[in-house]
Amino acid sequence: MSRVDSLQECEDCVPPADAFSVVADETRLAILEALWQLETPARFTDVHDEVGLRDSAQFNYHLGKLTGQFVRKREDGYELRTAGERVVQAILAGSFTEHPRREFELDDPCTECGEPLAAEYEDETLAISCPACGHGHGEYPFPPGGFHERSDAEVLEAFDQRVRHLHCLAKDGVCPECNGRMETTIAREGDCCLGARVRAEHVCRQCHHELCSAVGLALLDQSDVVAFCDEQGIALSETPYWRFEWCVDDDPVTVESEDPWRLTVDVTAGDERLRVTVDGDLSVVDTERA
């Protein structure tokens, strides 16, 4: 079955082409944004006044086209359905209207050579790498709306938190894009943004969204790792992931077996080391202080 066929298999669903045609109108988008701004359920007159369309008949026509799929009508007014919320969120994120390009320097050193890192943003993806040696430190999706009213430092902080969130969901089997089932595999061949020989790859069975990362990135919220770093005076949740070699490289990773998968990740802090063993799903099976 093709990807297009799978989108059409729901008998009660509106065909995708029809659904997108419904919101391909300036007035209807204005209605969705008005319901996003107003306290809902909102009365017909309140939504009409917020949109500012003089012709009530035209407004009623467009609201009627949205009702059912994107807007829910209740006894006390109107409110957005999940599909309507997603349309507004995509607009606010800038995914439909903004295509910025941006470059900026970081104060953090490369984990490979120690030279300053740099970040580059293009095609809704933010990539961190070392200009001196070319070592990658992650390349992940970041909507354009994330730049609004943020300094460079604030953008990087937001990006760090987003990467943590994306991979936390992915390793737990939930697609961060569509909430479908995410499958994790360990890869040892092919190219990736990190240039890693051993990495984790997450692919959604439903929307085919993909993420790849160093194996250690999955440990940022692991309780034993957090406690270990706290003991060494490192606030793991407040330190950008790209400062840790075990989050951006495969040098700290040792493949103990492939059937079943067993990998050890050396989490280092100063002169201390925590050796973490994970399986093919990145679930922790053992920890050992060294």
pLDDT tens string 234-285: 999 999 999 999 999 989 999 999 999 999 999 998 889 999 999 999 999 9
Closest to 6 (Cα-Cα) out of 290, 227, 244, 208: 208
- Residue boundaries of the structural domains of the chain: 3-93, 217-289
Looking at the domain that runs over 3-93, which CATH code has it been given? Answer: 1.10.10.10
Neighbours of 13 (CB within 10 A): 12
Please, what sign has the CA dihedral across residues 137, 141, 144, 147? Answer: negative
Q: Which residues contact 201 (CB under 8 A, 6 or more apart)?
A: 184, 185, 186, 187, 192, 210, 211, 212
Cα–Cα distance for residue pair 238/246, rounded to 1 Å: 16
- Cα 145 to Cα 31, 90, 91, 106, 149: the distances in Å are 21, 9, 9, 21, 9
pLDDT tens string 109-118: 999 999 999 9
Please, what sign has the CA dihedral across residues 198, 200, 203, 209? Answer: negative
> Is 84 within 8 Å of 70 (Cβ atoms)?
yes
Mean of per-residue pLDDT scores for the chain: 87
pLDDT tens string 88-136: 877 766 555 556 788 988 999 999 999 999 999 998 899 999 999 999 9
pLDDT tens string 191-213: 666 777 899 999 999 888 899 88
- Residue 158 pLDDT > 50: yes
Burial 42-52 (b: 16+ CB within 10 A, else e): beeebbbebbe
